[in-house]
A = this chain, B = another copy of it.
Amino acid sequence: VKVTREKAAEHRAAIVTAAGRLFRERGFEGVGVAEIMRAAGLTHGGFYGHFASKDALAAEACGQTLAESLKLLETRFSEFEGDFGRYFATYLSERHRDDRERGCPMAAHASEVVRQSGAVQAEFSAGLDRFIEALAGHLPAGHEPGERRHRAVAIVAALVGGLALARATAASAPELSAEILASVRTRLTDLADLEA
């Protein structure tokens, strides 16, 4: 059943969006092509008319979700008028922890990207670099050149590690999970203030 070129483009976009959500929730290896197509309202056979492989979709979905995270960072920082403490509190919240499918793709994929194809790794690296750069831009100016970038790297590592660990422990050790969110939040706000 042929459809309008416009509809076909919408279908393609729906596949990428559905993949972005499902991959974040269940991991790249935990979701099949058929399920992604079903989530996009299509049947699995048409998949290869849009993408060369599951892997190519994974790379594209990864790139899109990372781009969304970047946009969200900018939105939040302008909402919060540069108050990074509030950004950290949102990132390290129970709401974000419990909403993997719409949450940060870096935390969702941190430890599995290394096992993915070069295309996925490249998208991830590029997105991560842009994210770090954007965060650095919102930090108060430091003494040495590059000091903000330096801190931004450490902050992103702690955000991603903290969220991933809070998720890993949420079901079996809820107090530990809450403690991780709270402790990282506090320490990060200190770390972002450029005094040391």
Contact = CB atoms under 8 A, between A and B. Distances in A.
Interface in A56-84: none
5 contacts: A109-B111, A109-B168, A128-B176, A158-B161, A164-B164
A187 B151 contact: yes
Given A151-B187, A154-B188, A164-B161, A169 B124 contact: yes
Nearest to A193: B196
A92 to B, nearest CB: 9
Interface residues of A, number: 54
B125 A172 contact: yes
Given A27-B115, A121-B168, A160-B164, 8 more contacts: A30-B115, A110-B110, A111-B167, A125-B168, A151-B183, A154-B187, A157-B165, A161-B162
Contacts of A109: 111, 168
A100 B115 CA distance: 11
Given A29-B30, A129-B176, A157 B158 contact: yes
A86 B53 CA distance: 44
A111 B114 contact: no
Contacts of A141: none
Contacts of A180: 153, 157
A74 to B, nearest CB: 21
Contact of A121 (B115, B172, B188): B172
Interface string A121-136: 1101110110000000
A170 interface: yes
A10 interface: no
Contact of A184 (B106, B124, B154, B171): B154
Contacts of A159: 161
A118 interface: yes
